[in-house]
Amino acid sequence: MISERFTSYWTRFWMRYAGLSPTGRLATRLAVQFAPPFQLREYLRMLNPQGYISPEAILYHSKLRLGRHVFIGDRVMIIEREGGGAIELGNGVSVWGDSQLEVGQGGEITLGDRTRVNRGVQLLSYLAPIHIGRDVGLSTNCLLYSFNHGIAAGRPYLEQPLETNGPIIIDDHAWIGMGSIILSGVHIGEHAVVAAGSVVHHDVPAGAVAAGNPARVGKRRQAANDETDGPGLGSEQGSAEARKLVER
């Protein structure tokens, strides 16, 4: 039986050489041989300033910019299509497995520090950007599309040009509930909450709670000026847990 001391040393050794280069991707693959699965791998981001990028992630982007200690999980796809702009992930950003970030035709995506993109989220930016602030939570299976297909009569929709109502902007500390859809031209303010399963095509003010299809503001949060909504990934508590794992 392999000892915990050996597996810890093995992981820390190979994570020193992890990165975006082919050699760095190979080092990451070796590092995870004895690492636990899924979110239990979060501590790996703290073992290298470049963070942790799963060897199963697909990174096909010439203008990708990554902050320090990011986490990119299994089967994440970061794709640049013709005319696509930059994709930028701030410090401590988490993109969990099976999510998709894609840009084309002038689109771009920015994620602020400590923002969390949970499993199965799709961020597709064409014609207009998607800008997401700091410490934002995008729950499982959220969809953010900054474009749509034209639907003029007499032509199949796939033959029609893309259209947009403008950028998607989500300000700091907002929380988007599971399975929500955010359409182009929407601005969601600081500390706002979008309930699970909502379809948002109008702005949501700061500190408001919106729900439904179409989403409507039902109330305002009582503590809209809180600095954060809980410990979360990248918080002081989360970092303490990571340090504990690193130092074991």
Which residues are known to be catalytic? 149
Q: Which long-range contacts link 50-53 to residues 24+ away (Cβ below 8 Å)?
A: 50/18, 50/19, 50/20, 50/24, 52/15, 52/18, 52/28, 53/18, 53/19, 53/20, 53/25, 53/28
Round to whole Å and give the CA distance between 204 and 184.
13
What spatial distance separates the first Cα and last Cα of the chain, rounded to whole Å? 19
Contact 135, 228 (CB under 8 A): yes
At 151, which amino acid appears?
Answer: I
The conformational region for residue 83 under phi > 0 = left, psi -120 to 50 = alpha, else beta, is: left
- At residue 169, φ and ψ (nearest 5 deg) are -125, 125
Angstrom CA distances, 12 to 16, 68, 138, stand at 7, 17, 30
Element (H, E) at 52: strand 52-53
Cα(196)–Cα(139) distance, rounded to whole angstroms? 8
Question: From residue 222, how far is each of 59, 177, 191, 207, 246 by CA, in Å?
Answer: 41, 18, 11, 8, 37
Separation CA 182–CA 194 (nearest Å): 10
